[in-house]
Amino acid sequence: MAAKLKGLSEKLLVSHHDNNYAGAVKRLNAIEAELAGLPKDAAPFRVGSLKREELIARNSLVLHEAYFGNLGGEGLGSGRLAEAIARHYESVAAWEQEFRQTGKALGGGSGWVVLGWDAHRGAAHTYWLFDHTHSPTGVVPLLVMDMFEHAYAMDFGSNAAGSIDAFFQNLAGAELDRRAEACGAK
Ligand SMILES: [Fe+2]
């Protein structure tokens, strides 16, 4: 995790990483241990409850790793990901506007904004995820923005838009291009 970011304090980042991300990792391990220990004739509702929690913790882990990993640079840049975006949107600026507005729509609530490579569409596309159980099937996350209040309120209060400005200033362009390359985004 990058500790020094523009506009996002170390205190916020460490709290976010150590409580929310690490909490999801711990929870996932505990849930999987419980699942492994269930008797073969366990009631379906017990299995179902744990499988639901497994999904929530697993998606939280994956999305947080993508979120922290896409910070620590100087911005999106004009590499592989920007090229893919430009192919599927009117322009990179038009895509950014929609991505930011999607984030603002989650301000004061909770959720994620994910630009992903959507193999079904054959395109890069921005999705709105209200919580950890909303995840578009078959979409590889490329750029992930955490809009849960724990991701910004310590520094920005309820100013979600200010936190989105800071998010864009810190994008790790090289990592984003690597992700786009790895999933064959074009
Ligand atoms: Fe988070």
Closest CA relative to residue 137, chosen from 103, 114, 106? 114
**Residue 114 located in a structural domain:** yes
Task: Report the pLDDT value the prediction gives residue 161, as an integer from 0 to 100.
Answer: 97
d(CA 4, CA 168): 15
**Residue 1 located in a structural domain:** no
**Residue 4 located in a structural domain:** no
Q: How far is the CA of 146 from the centre of ligand 1 (A)?
A: 5
149 in the same domain as 126? yes
Q: Label residue 126 exposed, middle or buried (CB < 10 Å: 0-12, 13-18, 19+).
A: buried
What's 165's domain CATH number? 3.55.40.20
Give the Å distances, CA to CA, from 145 to 70, 150, 171: 9, 12, 10
**What amino acid is encoded at 166 in this protein?**
A
d(CA 143, CA 103): 12
What's 60's domain CATH number? 1.10.287
Q: How far is the CA of 185 from the centre of ligand 1 (A)?
A: 26
150 in the same domain as 60? no
What does the DSSP assignment read for 18-45? IIIIHHHHHHHHHHHHHHHHS-TT--HH
Domain count, the chain: 2
Q: Domain span at residue 98?
A: 80-182
- Write out the chain's pLDDT in tens, 186 residues: 555 899 999 999 999 999 999 999 999 999 999 999 999 999 999 999 999 999 999 999 999 999 999 999 999 999 999 999 999 999 999 999 999 999 999 998 899 999 999 999 999 999 999 999 888 999 999 999 999 999 999 999 999 999 999 999 999 999 999 999 999 998
Residue 47 near residue 7 (C-beta atoms within 8 A): no
Task: Report the pLDDT value the prediction gives residue 2, as an integer from 0 to 100.
Answer: 52
Give the Å distances, CA to CA, from 36 to 29, 33, 41, 50: 11, 5, 13, 11
Encode pLDDT of 104-157 as tens digits.
Answer: 999 988 999 999 999 999 999 999 999 998 889 999 999 999 999 999 999 999
pTM listed for this prediction: 0.95
Q: How far is the CA of 41 from the centre of ligand 1 (A)?
A: 36
DSSP letter at 16 equals I
140 in the same domain as 169? yes
95 in the same domain as 54? no
170 in the same domain as 102? yes
What does the DSSP assignment read for 94-131? HHHHHHHHHHHHHTTS--EEEEEEETTTTEEEEEEESS
Q: How far is the CA of 13 from the centre of ligand 1 (A)?
A: 10
Residue 144 near residue 66 (C-beta atoms within 8 A): yes
Closest CA relative to residue 150, chosen from 94, 111, 177? 111
28 in the same domain as 99? no
Task: Report the pLDDT value the prediction gives residue 109, as an integer from 0 to 100.
Answer: 86
Q: How far is the CA of 85 from the centre of ligand 1 (A)?
A: 25
